[in-house]
C-alpha cells in the first residue's frame, strides 16, 4: 500500500470511490434517484472544484494498492471552532476493505492534522444508522460527542453524530 497526496489527476478515481461508497452505504438515507443518476456527476463536480480551487487548509490523501486507487481521505485543518480539524471524507473501495487501508488513511490524516494544529483535535460526522462506521471510529478512540443533522446533497436531512478525537498526538505515535 502506498499513501500519497492526491492531485488533480486523481479526481475521477476519488469521485468514483465517493459516489460508489454512497450508493453502497447510504441507500437508506439518500434517494435512489440521486444515488443512481446524480451522485456520480455531483461528486465529480465537487472534487473538480476542490482541486481547482483548494482551500488553504485542505488535504487529500489517496491509498494505492498495486497501482490502483483503493481509497482516499479528505480533511480541513483547524476548521471546527471547538474540535479542530474536520475529517470530511474517508472512503475505501469495497474490494479493498478489511485490509487496514481505512485505518492507515485515518492515522495519516490525524498525523497531518496534528502537524497543522498540534493543540487541536479532529472531528467528523457519521450517519446515525451507519453502525459499521461508528464501530470503526470507536475502535480508533473516537468519542460520540453530539447529535447533528446533515443537509445532504439530495435535499434530505440525515441524522448524524459528531465523533471527536481530542488528542491527536496519541494517534500519531
pLDDT per position as a tens digit, 88-143 = 999 999 999 999 999 999 999 999 999 999 999 999 999 999 999 999 999 999 99
Which triple of cell numbers denotes residue 55?
482551500
Q: Which residues contact 142 (CB under 8 A, 6 or more apart)?
A: 124, 163, 164, 165
Q: Which residues contact 55 (CB under 8 A, 6 or more apart)?
A: 76
pLDDT number for residue 85: 97
Q: What is the tens place of the pLDDT at every residue in 18-77?
A: 999 999 999 999 999 999 999 999 999 999 999 999 999 999 999 999 999 999 999 999
> Residue 172 pLDDT more than 90?
no
Q: What is the tens place of the pLDDT at every residue in 64-90?
A: 999 999 999 999 999 999 999 999 999
**Under a CB-based contact definition with an 8 Å cutoff, are residues 26 and 127 in contact?**
yes
pLDDT number for residue 106: 97
Chain mean position to CA 117: 19
Q: Is the dihedral of CA 51, 134, 41, 9 positive or negative?
A: positive
**Under a CB-based contact definition with an 8 Å cutoff, are residues 77 and 119 in contact?**
no
- What range does the domain containing 14 cover? 2-172
Mean per-residue pLDDT, 148-161: 95
Exposure string of 70-95, with b = 16+ CB inside 10 Å and e = fewer, is bbbbbbbbbbbeebbbbbbbbbbbee
3-state class of 135 per DSSP?
helix
Q: What is the CATH number of the domain that holds 49?
A: 3.40.630.30
Domain count, the chain: 1
3-state class of 44 per DSSP?
helix
Amino acid at each position: 500500500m502506498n499513501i500519497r497526496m492526491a492531485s488533480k489527476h486523481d479526481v475521477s478515481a476519488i469521485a468514483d470511490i465517493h459516489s460508489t461508497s454512497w450508493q453502497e452505504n447510504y441507500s437508506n438515507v439518500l434517494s435512489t434517484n440521486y444515488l443512481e443518476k446524480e451522485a456520480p456527476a455531483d461528486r465529480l463536480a465537487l472534487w473538480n472544484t476542490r482541486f481547482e480551487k483548494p482551500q488553504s487548509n485542505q488535504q487529500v490523501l489517496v491509498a494505492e494498492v498495486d497501482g490502483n486507487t483503493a481509497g482516499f481521505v479528505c480533511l480541513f485543518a483547524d476548521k471546527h471552532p471547538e474540535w479542530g480539524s474536520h475529517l470530511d471524507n474517508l472512503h475505501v473501495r469495497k474490494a479493498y476493505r478489511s485490509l487496514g487501508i481505512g485505518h492507515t488513511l485515518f492515522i495519516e490524516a490525524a498525523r497531518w492534522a496534528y502537524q497543522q494544529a498540534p493543540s487541536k483535535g479532529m472531528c467528523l460526522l457519521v450517519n446515525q444508522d451507519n453502525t459499521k462506521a461508528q464501530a470503526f471510529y470507536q475502535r480508533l478512540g473516537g468519542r460520540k460527542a453530539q447529535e447533528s443533522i446533515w443537509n445532504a446533497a439530495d435535499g434530505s436531512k440525515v441524522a448524524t453524530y459528531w465523533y471527536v478525537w481530542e488528542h491527536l498526538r496519541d494517534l500519531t505515535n
